[in-house]
Structure 1
């Protein structure tokens, strides 16, 4: 069977430099498509666009991965901005919330990574802790640009525990976390201090394959979480196959 098509959301930067150019750019750390490819998927980038087109975009994907990135604007979950919350990214917030909601409505397999997990929670009415002391990535002078590591412990009986059944050291870089859980979500992994590290609908919810993880699996060598997404996307593709593209002349 062909590899399932996995759409990955991207950053939208007002200025990015390469070669002699300094221009606005939609970009994505290369580790994300590399992770999807290593897990057996075919990665494609989904740059921010009009939120009204998200459903059309998701309809063409077999699975969706919402990548990490800047802090979610607190206005998205009805909170006042903390001085330690990073600059807003309104275009990306609106686009990725629309992607999450479209995937949930369509039943498209969905994986949220770091910010992506937080957006999953917000999309379903949850809230966020705007700053965790002692965690890397804070805009208040704490360590930036360096991934740490901590152990994540699964909750038995959850989808995440089915993928990674043992406590596992993961690459991490965040200073925000889930506060109040979104409607129909349960915590499926925690750190030692109780921080929610994975989210998913409960078994039997009928939502399909949905998982959010707070850490960055693309920065480690373990592909089990991504492989879960790809396997679910392959099943979705088999259930509703797309027409095969014709093979054109080769150079």
Structure 2
């Protein structure tokens, strides 16, 4: 008699290799599932509606043209009452096919900025805090290719394609920047809304889902300011204080901060001093608790959390708007960021499906 081979709870006759109908059915289902994962595909495109616009990343699913992908994105955006409230009809009209091409690898590091307001999609003249994207571009100089990820950029994708989309972005981009902006929805960090305002749950869910995947991959650099600092903290498991006084609630102010010892020494090694003045324009704050991978990097005189650093040096976030500071501190921090991005500027082929068979 042929010997029997036990595979988990399955028993297969080794001589005849005969399977029961149930086993054949399970094998078929498994093969289909693996095949569907590999057949699912996406393509990243660069959209620039006009020469005056920023460059945006658009994702097309298998068999979908970039124009159709853009139309799908806009349609899905308008179907969500919460997302629709972020973008006016005029702003969305500007977000139209202009120059569309496949995203290609460049010798320059690619930096992805996460949009969170409607005016981020337009080429309209911006003033004051609206100039945050332009300020980041100015500080990064010509040493990086800067792109924007539209609000809820993965909307309308299947779960399989959303995962491929995250993987493709992680493989292509050396750094992600989370911008300042409106309050973070308390539901994101599992609390009821009490004093947070101007929140948008759907936008925040898309953004934090992306941030969690980026953080988990541990490949590129992540930098965030103000709201971006708070979103990164929430993605790492921290909670927020929904309202604090005297930190520029609706008006710019200044105050000193003190750098604390951290494992990565990112800010301390960049700035070269332990205390300095920063700007402030917020009314929420991160609540820091001991974390195995993240250090408290700076505090204000009232102990407000002013900066976080991951211990591997891949994540840095500041409550202050370093992009709007025109001093030696800002210059040195951005010099350190540019160096970090260059050092992490590597490209990897995905090729996951080929290895399954």
Which residue in the other structure is 1:149 paired with?
254
Q: 1:224 aligns with which of 310, 318, 332?
A: 332
So what's the TM-score if we normalise by structure 1? 0.78
Given the alignment of the two structures, is residue 86 of structure 1 paired with residue 197 of structure 2, yes or no? yes
Between Structure 1 and Structure 2, the one with more helix by share is 2
CA displacement 1:172-204 (0-9 Å, x = unmatched): 2111111143743221111111111010123xx
Q: Which structure has the greater CA radius of gyration?
A: 2
Which residue in the other structure is 2:341 paired with?
233
Partners of 2:280 and 2:321 within 8 A in 1: yes
CA displacement 1:111-169 (0-9 Å, x = unmatched): 011111111111111100000012212xxxxxx2x322111211134322111232121
How many residues of Structure 1 are paired with residues of Structure 2 in the alignment? 222
Higher relative contact order (CA 8 A, sep 6+): 1
So what's the TM-score if we normalise by structure 2? 0.56
d(CA) in 2 for partners of 1:17 and 1:233?
27
Q: 1:41 aligns with which of 112, 129, 144?
A: 144
Q: 2:232 aligns with which of 120, 130, 136?
A: 120
Which residue in the other structure is 1:187 paired with?
296
Shift in Å at residue 208 of structure 1?
Answer: 4.5
Given the alignment of the two structures, is residue 200 of structure 1 paired with residue 309 of structure 2, yes or no? yes
Q: 1:13 aligns with which of 118, 125, 129?
A: 118
5+ residue gaps, structure 1, are 20-26, 138-143, 243-251
Partners of 1:200 and 1:212 within 8 A in 2: yes
CA displacement 1:13-60 (0-9 Å, x = unmatched): 3999877xxxxxxx964222222227x433211112127334432322
Partners of 1:74 and 1:81 within 8 A in 2: yes
5+ residue gaps, structure 2, are 1-105, 125-130, 156-161, 350-357
d(CA) in 2 for partners of 1:17 and 1:123?
28
d(CA) in 1 for partners of 2:171 and 2:121?
30
Shift in Å at residue 103 of structure 1?
Answer: 2.2
Going from structure 1 to structure 2, the CA distance change for 1:236 and 1:68 (only over 3 Å counts) comes to same
Partners of 1:36 and 1:230 within 8 A in 2: yes
CA displacement 1:53-83 (0-9 Å, x = unmatched): 344323221111111111110001111111x
Given the alignment of the two structures, is residue 215 of structure 1 paired with residue 320 of structure 2, yes or no? yes
Q: Please state whether the residue corresponding to 1:215 is helix, strand or coil.
A: coil
Which residue in the other structure is 2:185 paired with?
73
Q: 1:95 aligns with which of 202, 206, 219?
A: 206
Partners of 1:113 and 1:216 within 8 A in 2: yes
Q: Which runs of 4+ in 1 moved over 6 A?
A: 14-19
Partners of 1:7 and 1:43 within 8 A in 2: yes
d(CA) in 1 for partners of 2:154 and 2:347?
26
